[in-house]
Structure 1
Amino acid sequence: MIDVILLEDEPVLRSELGEFLEQVGYAPQCVASLAEWERHFDARRHRLAVIDIGLPDGSGLALIQRLRQGGQQVGIVVFSAHNTSADRVGGLVTGADHYLGKGCDLDELEAVLAALARRLGLQRREARWRLELGAGRLLPPGAPPVPLSPQDVRVLRCLMRAAGESVSRSQVVQALGGDVLDYDQRRLDTQMRRLRRNVHAASGQELPVRTLPGNGYCFYEAAAVAE
């Protein structure tokens, strides 16, 4: 996955954007202020950035100007509520590659980031996740094995055998041995949250499972399932 650093001070929007970026296959680093940016930005890793303009401790435009003056080649997308023609021109003149208003469709943000990644020659690293059924564990790429409960194994077997494809909630319920008509969908939501949390806690990596609204889930990285 390509690393993206997101600078957005509004907590709900920051969370939503971070989740969206993860769902479309990026590895987001979310920060809320210029001070947090200074602590977390790594030019060797963060080749794409999404930056808000109005921040609690300064200006996003000043940050962009500083990055460009320092010779940073990071691809920059401004994502701001300030979206007049003058705002957009000012952002682009300062050094942003693209300028999007916060009311835009997030699919446009995805398309802009993809175009920037192509222009900068960034390649998505193919992460090969391996599920070992017999051992009951998940092997994330470059991270320690994650022990799994029997329920976790059933869920991941269902998703990883169809990696890259949509898997309906009904299919996951059936994989868990439940009756689709009687199954409490809240149990599935709890199961998925717990699985994501356990994988992150054990490996430091986000589980590459995208939630498809009203449909189901997709394991979006390369995967292998071993008996």
Structure 2
Amino acid sequence: MIDVILLEDEPVLRAELGEFLEQTGYAPQCVASLAEWERHFDVRRHRLAVIDIGLPDGSGLALIQRLRQDGQQLGIVVFSAHNTSADRIDGLATGADHYLGKGCDLDELEAVLAALGRRLGLQQSQQRWRLELGAGRLLPPGAPPVALSRQDLLVLHCLVRAAGEEVSRRQIVQALGADYLDYDQRRLDTQMRRLRRKVQSESGQLLPVKTLRGSGYCFYAAADVAE
């Protein structure tokens, strides 16, 4: 997974963006201030950054200017409530690669990060995951196996056998043996959150499942299914 460092001081938005980045296939490091940035930014690991401008202990623009003066080549996206034409020009002139206003569709943020990743030659890991149906477990690459409940196994089977493709909510609900029209969609969202936490807790790996808002999910890593 590609590591992204997110600098945003507003707690609710920081949590929302962090979850969104994780769901779209990135490994986010979320920080709330310039001081936290200094403690957590790792030039060897972080190749993309999403940076707010107005921070409690300084200016995001000043940080971007310093990063560029130091020769840092990471891709930088400004994500700010200050979104006039003059603000955008100032941000891009300072060294940001893209400038997005808060309130934009988060799919645009995902598209911008993907474009930056391509330009910088960043690629997601192609290590293979393995779903073992008989044993009822998921084998993340280079990590301990994760035992699965029957429901989690059914959901992952639906996703892994179509790895790289969109799987609709209807397909997943039907794989669970439920009637889509009578099914409470919040149950599926809750199950996916629990499954992500379980995989990360037991294996140390982020589950490579992207949420396709309003439509379904995608298992975006290379994967195999074993009977």
What is the TM-score normalised by the length of structure 1? 0.89
Post-superposition shift, 1:174? 2.8
Unmatched runs of 5 consecutive residues or more in structure 2? none
Asked if residue 34 in structure 1 is aligned to residue 34 in structure 2, the reply is yes
Distance 1:186 1:92 in 2: 40
In the alignment, is the contact (CA less than 8 A) between 2:24 and 2:211 conserved in 1?
A: no
Q: Does 1:9 align with 2:15?
A: no
Structure 1: which 5+ runs fail to align? none
Q: Secondary structure at the match of 2:79?
A: strand
What does residue range 85-100 of structure 1 map to in structure 2 within 5 Å?
85-100=85-100
Name 1:58's counterpart in structure 2: 58
Counterparts in 2 of 1:124-135, with a 5 A limit? 124-135=124-135
Q: Secondary structure at the match of 2:177?
A: coil
Which residue number corresponds to residue 171 of structure 2? Answer: 171
Deviates more, 1:40-49 or 1:98-107: 98-107
1:224 Cα shift?
A: 0.8
| Residues 115 and 212 of structure 1, relative CA distance in 2, 3 Å threshold | closer
CA offset digits 1:32-70 (Å, max 9, x no partner): 211221222111111111100101122111211222222
2:52 is equivalent to residue 48 of structure 1: no
Counterpart in the other structure of 1:209: 209
- What is the CA–CA distance in structure 2 between the aligned matches of 1:106 and 1:194, rounded to whole Å? 23
Structure 1: distance between partners of 2:204 and 2:84: 40
Q: C-alpha displacement at 1:182, in angstroms?
A: 4.3
Kept in 1: contact 2:210–2:220 (CA 8 A): yes
- Partners of 2:162 and 2:219 within 8 A in 1: yes
Task: Report Cα offsets for 1:13-33 as digits up to 9, x if no partner.
Answer: 222222332333322222221
Give the distance between the partners of 1:184 and 1:104, measured in 2 at CA: 28
**Aligned sequence identity (%):** 85
User: Which residue of the partner structure matches residue 139 of structure 2?
Assistant: 139
Aligned equivalents of 1:170 and 1:115: distance in 2?
30
In structure 2, what is the Cα distance between the partners aligned to 1:86 and 1:182? 50
Letter in 1 for 2:199: V
2:108 counterpart SS class: helix
User: Cα RMSD (Å) of the superposition?
Assistant: 2.0
Return the TM-score normalized by structure 2: 0.89
Aligned in 2, Cα 1:169/1:89: closer, same or farther, shift over 3 Å?
closer
Q: CA deviation at 1:160?
A: 0.7
User: Is 1:154 the counterpart of 2:154 in the alignment?
Assistant: yes
Is the CA contact (8 Å cut-off) linking 2:24 and 2:209 kept in structure 1?
A: no
Report how many aligned residue pairs link the two structures: 227
